[in-house]
Amino acid sequence: MLGVADDEQLSVRQARAGDAGAWEALLRRYQLPLYAYTFELVRDEQASLDLVQETFIAAVRHLASLRDDARFGSWLFGIAHQKCIQLWRSRDRMAAVRAELADQPGEFAADPQELLIRAEQEADFMQLLHELPLPQRSVLLLHYLEDFPLEEIARITDTQIGTVKSRMHYAKRALRKLLEEQTR
């Protein structure tokens, strides 16, 4: 029986061989996590959809450059990260529109008042998160939202592990300070 990692490596090998079904399987596996990651960076639904599409187009074009099939996920997130930076650089930071976080309660939702309070707290937190510089925000999202280890984040962001740790440290510190200022 194949494990998830083995199954993914098999899909990558099949994609290298031109198997469209393998690409579909990889797309299904990664499109939502990539969308969530890019959306949290660019805060624009349409741009996030475009970035995911551009990421997969780049992956198809450059799959031959991937040396280790087991690293496909982090390689793909690295492409998405670079696409986000390109978009970020092309936009005027002050003119970027901030989208409201839309939180849909699940079918087993708790007390509506509790859900509303949680949604407001989450929206407030995300607003604070978007005040951080892109490099700091990116490492937090990759680590806490996408569960990437620091070593993988270093590969994705094309930085040294020490830089990732530093960004993580300063991001947490800045968030703490912003939270303190908000509660005053």
| CATH class of the domain defined by 109-184 | mainly alpha
The domain limits of the chain are 1-99, 109-184
Q: Return d(Cα 155, Cα 170) in angstroms, integer.
A: 19
CATH code of 1-99, in short, is 1.10.1740.10
Sign of CA dihedral 147, 2, 63, 39: negative
Q: For the whole model, what pTM was predicted?
A: 0.60
Q: Return d(Cα 75, Cα 62) in angstroms, integer.
A: 11
Kindly give, in sequence order, each residue whose CB lies less than 8 Å from that of residue 128, ignoring residues fewer than 6 positions away: 175, 178, 179, 182
pLDDT in tens, the chain (184 residues): 445 566 778 888 898 888 889 899 999 999 999 999 999 888 889 999 999 999 999 999 998 888 888 899 999 999 999 888 888 766 543 333 333 333 344 444 456 666 666 666 666 777 778 888 888 888 888 887 778 889 989 988 899 999 999 998 998 888 888 877 877 7
